[in-house]
Every structure is written in structure tokens, then in C-alpha cells.
Structure 1
Amino acid sequence: MQIQFPDYTVLSKIGCGSQHQVYLAKEKSSSKSFAIKIEKNPQLGQLENEIKVLQKLKGIEGIPKIKQIGVAQENKCYFVLPLLHSNLLELVKGRKVSQSAIMRIGLRVIEILEQVHKKNILHLDIKPENIMISQAFEKESDIEKDGFIQLIDFGLSQLYEENSEGLQDVFIGSLNFASRSSHDGSPLGYKDDLESLLYVLFYLKDLTLPWSHQQYYTFSVQDFELIKQSKLTFFKTLILQCKSFNHFSVFMSYINQLHYNQIPDYSYIREVFKHMIQASNNSIIQFKLDQQQSLCTPTQSYLEDSEIQKITNCDNFEEILLEHNNNGSEKTIILVSNLVGKYNTKQIKSIKDIKY
């Protein structure tokens, strides 16, 4: 049955998640286009949670503003949002994005997350599909425009409450981009959004992550554990794929030392990103930060093509090989291990979705 809304004409389906669908619709009174998000089954609760979160975040630049809330046929809850241009996954697949632009996107998301976290709200599902641009990306300076970067999909978001045990012993997020704490059931906090953003930025650079392969495997607890171990290895070794990312280890180290209930120092993080933007534009930069000076000495070495780097103190992975992709333009990390499967982030939202 064709979905219908009183004030809108549905034009097409433009997206979906595990518990919702998104439609392109035209407002009957103005002929303007909007996005309508509606739950797949009535009273699932995720959409109601997102509405409450978005209402608390009203007025924050970079957070879409709800235009209308309603109930459609079959008692399905929906809400109307501004129509945005595309998400970061679509952006990087359609064009080459410079490392400087990636860092600028990261800085803008940090600024949005700072305001979200001030409301004691954790996003908990940061991934390329949930970071959007509001208009066509023509030049790098576009990123600086007000509202150009938008953070969406707060369906899994939670209110952080100190001393609460509600955000532990549960996997929350999308498997490729979820934090290590989400994997092992540790308490979740502000740092977990930052860690997910870290994975997003590395993905934007290489269109892959060390634990992502082109093949698809059936979800299993073993694969789930292997991806967790790969993320642990990623942080342990700080192996980076591009020299202009050489100060990224500073951000990684800072995330690593944060406690789950600690509010990040966003002023410091912004300075780190500004230095990384400079490093992307200039081959050499003196990295001088007064705060957290002990974190500001990159220690990683850089691997050349086809060079094998042995990883010590790692039970699951024995070596890493960097080689060119088929087109010769990008480098790919290949983890020489038994198996790390590729997970479609739309197909797993919780530990309950993993097949035993």
C-alpha cells in the first residue's frame, strides 16, 4: 500500500534503516521538497526517541530541525525534516576528497558534537551515512559555511547520566564504526562518539578500514570478536597510511586516555584538528601545543608499498601488508589473519543481531 501523508505528496523512497524508511516528499502548500522519516512498524520506540532528542537539540547548528510530527496509517509515527544533499559515503564515492577537506569535515563534526554533548546526549551511531552535506560540494571552503555539515539519525542516541549502568553490557552502534567499549560491554560515554568519528575520517581517506574486506561473511561472534581485536590493534600500533595524517596519533592518544565519564577538552581537540589541516596543506609543520604536550610526538613509522610490518604483542594479527589497489592510486591495509568479515552497517545495530 502506498504510504500517504496529509500535507505531502510522496515522490520516492530515498533511504531506509533497520527500523525506519525515508521518503522524498513535496509539501502540497508550498511545492517544496522535504524528507519524511517513518517507522517500519508502529510503536517500535526508536523514532519517538529520536524526536525527543532532536527537540532537545533544537537550535544547534548542524542538527536538522523537525518541521512536522505526525502519525500515518497503521499508527506509524513519522516526522518531517529538511531535504539534505547527500551523505559522506555518497560524497567520497562520487569524487576525490582531499585530506585537508577530510580534516575540515572532522573539525566541523567535533564542533557539532561539542554542543550535543553539552546537552548530555550521546549520538552512538557516528558513521559516514549519518553525516550529511546540505548542498553540493564544489570547493573546500564550502565546508566552512553555516549548516553545510549536518549530523543526522539520533535513533540510537542516549542521555548520559552519571553513575548510570544503562549504557554498559550492550553493543550500540554500527559494527564498522562502533567504539571498542561498545564491543566489550564497557560503559559508554562522550569519548565513544569521538572514536567513531576517528574511524569515519580514516574511512573517508581510504574508502576502507583495516577490518573491512570486499567479501561478505555471515555474522558470528567470532567475526565480531575479530573486528574488536582489529580495532585494538589499530590503536596499539598507530599505523597510518599517509604522511599528512602523521599527527592523527595525537587525537588517537587523547581518545585513548579519556575516561568514559570525562567530558573531552574540545578546545584542545579543535587545536589538534587545525594543526592537522595545516599539515595537510603543508608537507612539514612544527606541531606545538602547550596542552597535552606529552601526546604530541608522533612515534609511528610509515610503510612503503608491499612492505610488511610485524605487529608485536598481538594475539590475533601477525602482520600487516600495504599494497596498491587495482587502479594503483590508493593504498589498502590487508590484515593477514584468519578472517575479518565486512559488515554492512545497516544490517547490525545490536549484539542481538549477531548470529550464534
Structure 2
Amino acid sequence: MRLVAVALSAVGSLVESVARSLNAAPSASTVRLNRGETLIAQGDASDTVYLLIDGSLQVSRDVDEATAVIAEISEPGSLIGEMVAIGGGRRTATVTSTSPSELIAVDVDDFQRLLQQEPELTDLLVTVAIRRAEEAELVELLARHFGLVDRATLIATCSSVEWRTLAAGDVLFREGDPSDFVYFVVRGRLITTRADDEEDELKVGEIGRGEVVGEIGVLRHQPRSGTVRASRDTVVAGMPEGAFLGLIESQPRMLIEMFLDALARSDSPRWHSAPSTVVGLLSEPGLDIGAIVAGIGSGLSDFGVLRHLSRDVVERALDQPGVADCGRGSLEEVRLSRFLHETELAADFMTVEVGNEPDQWALRAVGILDHLLISWSS
């Protein structure tokens, strides 16, 4: 039964094809919302995917005790709820209608069959999923560290940033470069170095998740005072100078928080404010890795919470065999990356069992490490 007759040519042939397929799905039904009604609540089970036909929606997320509006959706053909539905877990945001709205709803099984028929859609969803995950983390960072929950400010901030993904050793900027961007560290860790009188680079500090780098040069209109590079896989959101100056003018609390952060870093250059210290464990086959983890945990128990991850731990937690070795650029990788990120957020220290084979899990584990501990019998 064709539930909705709507011309979607304006939003592209792929979306039109998706709409036709969803209309024809056995589980398809029409959902109509009045203004202010909730479509999805944060924490709900993820068993349905929606396609917006008409109307407008607002996406919000609870961060600590505040609610931050992170997106507005009004374009016909927009998918809602597809990422968590595919990747598993529970809804990460609440979606409410801001005007009378009409949507197509299908269950996850029908949507997964659609993905098999539309490989282009799968590729598109991977790209969108990665960006959505990063934007959600940026919103959480801005709300938690700087108190930003204003809807217009958050939406404008997310739309103004340029995203950069760095591998260990990649340079974000070099000493003497123009100060044209301010960077928010969304994931990972950066190190700062400066050249001494003999042009040798000396490490002078570290910048972790939730911190800002490059703001001093922008505020003083001076070149970069040091070189900043990634010490592990890192994602940063870069805000152009003009957008940053406009943001702190409208949100002066941010400037105070960044000033206090800069003071803390100058007092203790090796101070780690946000990220966990992640230690990789590479051991000889047959050694009791549990005993090694227990020993590390005992030594660190007075300093914070320790979490341990291995291939088996990850696959049990996500209830998806093989997900630890999923390929790059897959929807499974989006789910795995989110799980690793959330696990790190909940810990002060994290140990990761690397394994002894150069497989996808080992490569991914090495990318998030701060240190590598090798245990081998003599």
C-alpha cells in the first residue's frame, strides 16, 4: 500500500528512491505529530527509522542537568533515528516536532534490507554518521566545559567549524604559522613543542579532550607560539577567527573558562584535564593478561577509575561478534568508535589488550594509545 504520495525530486534521486522503498516496506506506517509532540526520547530503544515528509523537528540532548538543542530538521527526505537503529544501543537524543509533521516509519529489519539494495545510501550514511557523532561530542563538550546550551549558539557553532582528523604524529599547526583558527579537541590528545635556541623541538605541554588550543594567538593577533601535533588518533573542530571572536563576545563565560584552563596548563604543563590515560597491553601468548590488568588496577586505584577493553570485552558489550575487527568506513565502525569514546569518557585510566596479530582491532587499539606496555617472559 502506498502511504504517502509526495514529490521528492527536489531532494535528489537517491532520497526519492529511499522514500519509494520505505513506502513499500511491509512495516511502513504513517506518523503524524502535532507541534510539541515527541517522536523519539533520549534513552529509548532503537527499533524504528523515520523519513520526514513534511513539517519540522528539533533535536535536543540532555547533558548533565541541562538540555542542549543540537539540530533542527525541516528538509523533506531527512532520515531520523537511522544511526542508532543500525548500530545498536539506545537513542542518544530527543526529537520533538516544532510544527505539525508527517513521517514514514519502518522497523529496523526493513531498513537494513533497504541498505542492502541501496549501497550508495550505505556510503552516504557512514559519512553522515561520522559527522553526527562528532557534532554530538562537540555539543557535549561545549555544554559541559563552557556551559553553552543556547540553541541558536550551538547550531551556529556546529555549522561554522571545520573538522580535522589527525593520526599520531600529524601536525595541526607549526610555530610561526598565522593564528587563523581556534581548535576544540573533541577526541584524543595533542602535544605542544617549541624550538629552542638550537632549533631543537622541546615538549612544553599536552592538550586533551575538552580543551582548546590556538586561542591565545587569535586573541592577541600573533603567530603561533608553538607547534602542535597529535600524539594519538585525534579529532578537532576548528573555528575560524571571526566566528570565534563573535562567539566569545556573545558568550563571555567561555573566555573566563578558557583563561582558567590556560592558567592550569601553564602551572602544570603535563597536566591532563580531560582524557583518560590509555595504556596498551601487548603480551606473550599464554601470559595471564587478567593478572597484569589487576596489577595495574591495584596500583592506580587511588588515582581514579580503571576500565579494561579487549576484543572479547567489546564484542560482548556490543553483542555483535566480529565488530572489533570491522573495516574502516563501515557503519559498524561508527558504533565501535562511539563505544570506545564513551568508555574512555567514563574512566580515568583505560587498558586496552592489543593482541599479537596485526589485525583491524590491533591497528585501532594502537591508534588510541598514550603508552604501550609489553609483557614478555625472559
TM-score (norm 2): 0.28
Structure having the higher Rg: 2
Would you tell me which structure has more helix in proportion to its own residues? 2
